[in-house]
Amino acid sequence: MSPDPDGPGDRMKTYEQVARVAAPVWLLDVDGVVNVKQPAWHAPPWNGRAYDARLEYRMRWAPQLTTRIRQLHRAGVVEVRWCTTWCAHADQLERLFRLPALDRAFTDDLDGDDVPPVKLAAARAVLAAGRRLVWTDDAEVPEPGPLFDELAAGGRALLIRPDARRGLTPAHLERIEAFSAASGTATARPG
């Protein structure tokens, strides 16, 4: 038997790429999801500052949450993508939250009425590409109704709209892990 010309390292990359493609895409908002007033985790929150082109913002987050996000992304359980008004400045979030460089759902510096349709288009694009979707957003994840039903059809999406004061909780992360481990038949539920 001849040796593998690609070597085991290249074969491992292929396995990781396959796992990454099979993993759900997690569209992650920041304000009201990660950056919150009273994180629902068991240790004191961390604080820092981030800047956009105009202003300085105080950020407050649970380090346990950002650690779990980092672990899930690096393990290939989910493919995390920023889907936030911070997309144009996501490098600052990655530094503050100690996250690796993540893809962005969009790169424009958006705010106001421009944001909802762009975020919805990002969610639809994930599903149209044949990927499963995890979408966490305190404002733009649809409430139960026709749009929610469209996105959740076939159990291909987990839509979480956390309380904007508390953000993502340990229970939300458990739901994300369970959905990611399932074969795509999980039921989408609000909040």
Is 10 within a domain? no
Condensed to tens digits (0 to 9), the pLDDT of residues 5-17 reads: 444 444 444 434 4
Condensed to tens digits (0 to 9), the pLDDT of residues 15-30 reads: 344 444 589 999 999 9
pLDDT at 110: 84
Is 35 within a domain? yes
Kindly state the helix (H) or strand (E) to which residue 159 belongs, with its residue range: strand 157-160
Domain count for the chain: 1
138: which residues sit within 8 A by CB, 6+ positions away?
29, 31, 32, 33, 161, 162, 163, 164, 167
Is 125 within a domain? yes
- The CATH number covering residue 118 comes to 3.40.50
Q: Worst-scoring range by mean pLDDT, 22-31, 107-116, 162-171?
A: 107-116
And the tokens for 110?
Answer: 């958006």
Is 120 within a domain? yes
Is 1 within a domain? no
Give the bridge partners for 35, in sequence order.
31
